[in-house]
Amino acid sequence: MDDALVRAGRALRLVLLISLALLFLIPFYLLVRNGLSSERDITSPEWTFFPAVLRWGNVRELFDDPSVPFARSLLNSALIAVATTLGTLVLASLAGYGLARIPYRHANKVFHGILGTLLVPAAVTFVPGFVLVSSLGWVSTLRGLVVPTLFPAFACFVFRQYFLGFPRELEDAAQVDGLGYWRTYWRVVVPNARPVFAAVGTIVFLGAWNSFLWPLVIGQDRDAWTVQVALSSFTTSQVVRLHELFVAAAVSILPLLLVFLCFQRWIVAGAERSGID
Amino acid sequence: MRRRGALWFWVFVGPFALGLALFTYVPLLWSVALSFFDARNTVTPTDFVGPANYTAVLGDDGFTDSLRTFLVFTAFIVPVTYVFSLSLALMVNRVRRARAFFRSVFFLPAACSYVVAALIWKMSLFSGVRFGLANTVLGWFGEDPVAWLATPDPPWYWLVIVTVRLWLQTGFYMILFLAGLQRIDPVLYEAAAVDGARPGWTVLRHITLPQLRATSVAVLLLLVVGAFQAFDEFYNLLSDARGYPPYARPPLVYLYYTALGQGQNLGFGSAGAVILALVVAVVTAGQARWLKPGRTDGDG
């Protein structure tokens, strides 16, 4: 009796999970279906499950369309995401290591000063941030899009926690060999801390690629648009070519899906570290 | 030796701390200063106006409306995401086959930007025209198409806005809950079984949920702060070539249009930002106090 109940419960759970999984995949299905359809197929009153002829030409049409700076915006996004990721990793890991390992009287005060910025939601600082960036003359420049985002307190915090738990023996051995803090860090610590770099790096990369409000405020000229700003301006413009819009959206998430599937382990680790605390 | 330590400390920490100070603390203080000036189209104003910007913001119906929108949004999105991601985690945690597959599928939307999700929702899933997916399904049942985003009464746009965020962030919080579940000592469940507790509600209420307390507190805080910062999906779902409709303007959308829109009234916008920063501080402090993070599941 109990056994049958347990088995029924298990089957029910599986059915529920499968239905939810299908529901979660619908938006991806729409992206591919619309991106590879002709405009007429999309707007037809009869729902076609999938286009009879896959229109791969939509991709070419998108990149050939002179009214849409799509290639340029992809390039901008790639530059910004890579620069932000590398810059954040170097700056935040150095700071995290210093806070965790180098004795200094005021280290705690500095640490609290850094943590305090977590209480200031990034989005509330967008008006003052804009004020600062515009007075530096950095509006519509890559500098303005990258530099202010290189100092996320969460990344520094994650690195500090990680280095606090790092085995001291390795560093002690390096010090015996006469290596100072600097060389110990680059030769011994960094090569043995790859998991935390991968975890923070993937999270920062995803965030930089997907961020919208800051690039919208700072990247005002078309030449400084990121891919998110470009997509947004097609969505909200007067004339919308749906097939082009959807193929653009699909192209914009392709690099991310690849990163996501290859690095899922690290992203999960990063999500766990950044989510708690 | 100690002096050398201080030097190296600043070599390592200095660049990050300096950047953070320059790009977070300086703008914040500058903004507080601006909020007491008449600063239209300028960041170095000379016209001191005292608290006039604050009274103007607090007296603006648009501002109080934006706080109301935030409350309604939070009241929907926080409990729904919490329950949904926790349930998914519990189910995925107990499934025997294809656990990695389910985890990936639910987590995959986290790779999408709000811009892409809003685009899919607005232009296809909940498109107001007949060929939108939701309206197509309604059509199969002989119902008329609904203009999902354009009707303020009944407010169907809430359904569109809430489902976007739900789709995007549920998987992320599910991952946090899964991590919390993995940390629960299996001995506790064995002890419960010995004591005759039947699996199901009893075990969930008396073991799983109390053990997940620290994770739950973190998730609730993140959800509220996240809801407060909502901008991307509202902006991309609701604005079009004619502008943004008068309804469903959360605080950041309000600030975006008042501070950076026509006139660039930075003094007014700064006053709004300061008030919002205070609101966030009070809400999160109150929430943290009310939930009192117990150290039950080994993180905190």
We report the CATH number of the domain holding residue B250 as 1.10.3720.10
By the CB < 8 Å criterion, does A138 face chain B?
Answer: no
- CATH number reported for the structural domain that contains residue A89 in this entry: 1.10.3720.10
Q: Name chain B contacts of A233, Cβ cutoff 8 Å.
A: none
**How far away is chain A from the Cα of B9, in angstroms, using its nearest Cα?**
5
Q: In chain B, count H helices and then E strands.
A: 15, 0
Q: What is the pLDDT of residue B295?
A: 47
CB A27 within 8 A of CB B117: yes
Domain containing A204 equals 68-275
Total domains in chain B come to 1
Classify residue B40 by its DSSP letter. B
Residue pair A273/A158 in contact (Cβ under 8 Å)? The answer is: yes
pLDDT of amino acid A182: 92
Confidence at residue B130, expressed as pLDDT on a 0 to 100 scale? 83
At residue A260, the pLDDT reads: 80
> pLDDT digit string (tens) for A205-224?
999 999 999 999 998 888 99
Q: Is B40 domain-assigned?
A: no
Q: Count of CB atoms within 10 A of residue B149's CB?
A: 21
Asked if B43 lies within 8 A of A17 by C-beta distance, the reply is no
Q: How far is A238 from chain B (nearest CA, A)?
A: 5
What residues of chain B, 54 to 83, have a C-beta less than 8 Å from chain A?
none
Torsion B35-B40-B45-B51 (CA) sign: negative
Q: Which of A114, A132, A216 sits opposite B27 (nearest CB)?
A: A132
Q: Does A52 lie in the same domain as A85?
A: no
- Reading the block at residue B255, the tokens are 């600030």
Same domain, A33 and A98: no
Together in a domain, A228 and A143:
yes
Using the predicted structure, report yes or no on whether residue A258 has a pLDDT greater than 70: yes
Per-residue confidence (pLDDT) for residue B298, from 0 to 100 = 42
Find out whether B144 and A59 touch, Cβ atoms under 8 Å. no
Q: Is the pLDDT of residue A97 over 90?
A: yes
pLDDT tens-digit readout, A153-173: 989 999 999 999 888 888 888
Query: In the predicted model, is pLDDT for residue A271 greater than 80?
Result: no
B230 with B73: CB under 8 angstroms?
A: yes
Pick from A13, A110, A135: CB nearest B94? A13
Do residues A8 and A79 both lie within one domain? no
Rounded alpha-carbon distances, angstroms, from residue A42 to A242, B145, B164: 8, 16, 21
What ipTM was estimated for this complex? 0.90
At B244 the three-state DSSP class reads coil
Q: Mind listing the pLDDT tens digit for each residue in A139-148?
A: 999 999 999 9
> Which residue, A39, A61, A83, sits at the end of a domain?
A61
B41: left (phi over 0), alpha (psi -120 to 50) or beta: left
Which range of residues forms the domain containing residue B84?
Answer: 51-291
**Tens-place pLDDT, residues A232-253:** 988 877 778 899 999 999 999 9
Q: Do B13 and A105 touch (CB under 8 A)?
A: no
Q: Across the interface, which of A13, A120, A150 has its CB nearest the CB of B95?
A: A13
* Interface probe, candidates A185, A236, A263, chain B, greatest B C-beta count within 10 A: A236
Query: Same domain for A144 and A52?
Result: no
A29, A161: one domain: no
| Whether A105 and A234 share a structural domain | yes
Q: What is the pLDDT of residue B293?
A: 55
Question: Total structural domains in chain A?
Answer: 2
Whether the per-residue pLDDT at A276 is higher than 60: the answer is no
Q: pLDDT tens track of chain B, all 300 residues?
A: 445 778 999 999 999 999 999 998 888 888 888 889 888 877 777 888 889 999 999 999 999 999 999 999 999 999 999 999 999 999 999 887 888 899 989 999 988 999 999 999 999 999 888 888 999 999 999 888 888 988 888 889 999 999 999 999 999 999 999 988 988 888 888 888 888 777 777 888 888 889 898 888 889 988 988 898 899 999 999 988 788 888 889 999 998 888 877 667 888 888 988 888 888 888 878 877 777 655 444 443
Q: How far apart are CA A69 and CA B280, in angstroms?
A: 38
* pLDDT for res B300: 35
Residue A277's pLDDT band (boundaries 50, 70, 90)? very low
Query: Chain B: nearest CA to A265, how far in angstroms?
Result: 10
Q: Which of A17, A91, A113 sits opposite B19 (nearest CB)?
A: A91
Kindly report the pTM of this predicted structure. Answer: 0.89
Task: Count Cα neighbours of A256 within 13 Å in the Cβ-side half-sphere.
Answer: 27
B178, with CB counted inside 10 A (0-12, 13-18, 19+), is buried
Same domain, A170 and A109: yes
Q: List chain B residues with CB under 8 Å of A124.
A: 229, 273, 276-277, 280
Give the pLDDT of residue B262: 66
CB B5 within 8 Å of CB A103: yes
Residues A83 and A201 in one domain: yes
Residues A84 and A55 in one domain: no
B244 located within any domain = yes
Query: Residues of A93-109 as b/e, b for ≥16 C-beta within 10 angstroms?
Result: bbbbbbbbbbebeebee
Tell whether A152 and A30 lie within a shared domain: no
Look at the block and give the residue holding tokens 């390592």: B12
Average pLDDT over residues A6-27: 91
Same domain, A33 and A105: no
